[in-house]
């Protein structure tokens, strides 16, 4: 079926991944502190999740805190982690009641022990839910993800459990932090920027890319619908010849 003949209502991506960008600029335009932008961005997360559930998306991955974000001012890092703690303590039970499974991907060891324990509790509580899987990328970097997978495979080879010629793309993917999760069908970035910014580099090899000129705190159900409509109108060929 050609792109022009696609029924946009019939094609829903299984996995949507979002680079949530623009919180700081949204706050700056309003003369507000950056924390206000992050709080408004958290409300946009709720709208995005509701829209994903409503439209039947099964996996939603949100780039919440990158490995590079550790280089920000200590006060902003503290604000971000405090905001994360707040939502873990006050929103997880609600998400659990709505059938949301919560997973965290990234170098979580960089967070303190108490926060890691809260992350683990959220995963344990919701692990059997099947309405939608919400993956939050925390302390995440695509290059770091690839490196840690390579190290795990190298260790298996060194220990004699694996031969180098047994390493396949499938086996490599199973060592990534997203193991067991299908690759994203579409990657969205807000704020008008046109970069992946070290997000899901391996996993996004064949993802459709959608860039929106809207700051993340302003993201709503209408923008999500635009993403799905844009995705449905594209023809995914995965390197094959186009249909006629």
pLDDT tens readout for residues 111-154 = 999 999 999 999 999 999 999 999 999 999 999 999 999 999 99
Per-residue pLDDT tens over the stretch 30-60: 999 999 999 999 999 999 999 999 999 999 9
Whether the pLDDT of residue 7 is over 50: the answer is: no
| 21-48 burial: b if 16+ Cβ within 10 Å, else e | bbbbbbbeeeeeebbbbbbbbbebbebb
Measured at the CA of 98, the angle between CA 93 and CA 102, to 5 degrees, comes to: 65
What are the pLDDT digits (tens) for 212-231? Answer: 999 999 999 999 999 999 99
Is pLDDT at 177 greater than 60 in this prediction? Answer: yes
What per-residue confidence (pLDDT) applies to 238? 66
Instruction: State the pLDDT confidence band at 236, using cuts at 50, 70 and 90.
Output: confident
Give binding residues for Mg(2+) as ranges: 21, 208
Q: What CATH number is given for 11-141+183-232 in this structure?
A: 3.40.1180.10
d(CA 63, CA 150): 22
pLDDT(85) > 90: yes
Q: Could you say which of 7, 69, 128, 145 is catalytic?
A: 69
Residue 241 above 80 pLDDT? no
Prediction pTM value: 0.92
The pLDDT of residue 8 is 44
Query: Where are the alpha helices (H) located in the chain, listed in sequence order?
Result: 23-29, 34-55, 74-90, 92-97, 113-126, 142-158, 169-173, 221-232
Alpha-carbon gap, residue 20 to 43, rounded angstroms: 12
Q: pLDDT band for 10, please (50, 70, 90 cuts).
A: low
Quick one: average pLDDT of 180-206? 97
Annotated binding site for substrate: 22-26, 34, 38, 66-68, 70, 72, 189, 195-197
- pLDDT mean over 181-203: 97
Q: What is the arrangement of strands in the sheet containing 100-105, beginning at the earlier edge strand?
A: 100-105, 132-140, 59-66, 15-19, 186-189, 208-211
Task: Please report the pLDDT score of residue 243 as a whole number.
Answer: 57
User: Comparing C-alpha atoms, which of 54, 12, 49, 43 is closest to residue 186?
Assistant: 12
From CA 24, how far away is CA 77, in angstroms rounded? Answer: 13
Q: Judge whether 69 counts as a catalytic residue.
A: yes
Q: Which pLDDT score is estimated for 235?
A: 82
Predicted pLDDT of residue 3 = 39
Question: What confidence tier does 2 reach under pLDDT thresholds 50, 70, 90?
Answer: very low
Query: What's the whole-number average pLDDT of the chain?
Result: 93
User: Domain residues of the chain, as ranges?
Assistant: 11-141+183-232
Binding residues: 21-26, 34, 38, 66-68, 70, 72, 189, 195-197, 208
Q: Which helix (H) or strand (E) holds 15?
A: strand 15-19
Phi then psi for residue 64, to 5 deg, are -90, -35
- What is the DSSP-derived secondary structure letter of residue 182? P
Residue 1's pLDDT is: 36
DSSP 105-170: ES-GGGS-HHHHHHHHHHHHHHTT--SEEEEEEEEE-HHHHHHHHHHHHHHHHHTTS--GGG--HH
Cα separation, 34 vs 25, in Å, equals 8
């Amino acid at each position: 079926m050609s792109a022009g003949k696609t029924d946009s209502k019939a094609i829903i991506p299984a996995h949507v991944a979002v680079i949530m960008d623009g919180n700081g600029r949204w706050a700056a335009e309003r003369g507000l502190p950056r924390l206000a932008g992050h709080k408004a961005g958290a409300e946009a997360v709720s709208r995005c999740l509701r829209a994903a559930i409503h439209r039947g998306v099964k996996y939603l991955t949100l780039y919440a805190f990158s490995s590079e974000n550790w280089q920000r001012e200590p006060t902003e890092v503290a604000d971000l982690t405090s905001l994360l703690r707040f939502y873990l303590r006050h929103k997880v039970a609600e998400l659990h009641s709505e059938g949301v499974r919560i997973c965290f991907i990234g170098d979580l060891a960089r967070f303190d022990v108490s926060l890691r324990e809260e992350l683990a509790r959220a995963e344990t509580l919701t692990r059997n839910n099947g309405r939608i899987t919400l993956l939050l990328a925390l302390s995440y970097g695509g290059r770091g993800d690839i490196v840690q997978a390579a190290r795990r495979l190298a260790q298996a080879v060194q220990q004699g459990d694996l031969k180098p010629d047994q390493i396949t793309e499938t086996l490599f993917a199973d060592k990534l932090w997203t193991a067991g999760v299908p690759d994203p069908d579409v990657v969205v970035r807000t704020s008008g920027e046109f970069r992946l910014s070290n997000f899901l580099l391996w996993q996004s090899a064949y993802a459709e890319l959608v860039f929106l000129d809207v700051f993340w705190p302003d993201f709503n159900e209408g923008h999500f619908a635009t993403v799905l409509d844009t995705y449905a109108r594209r023809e995914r060929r995965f390197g094959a010849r186009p249909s006629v």
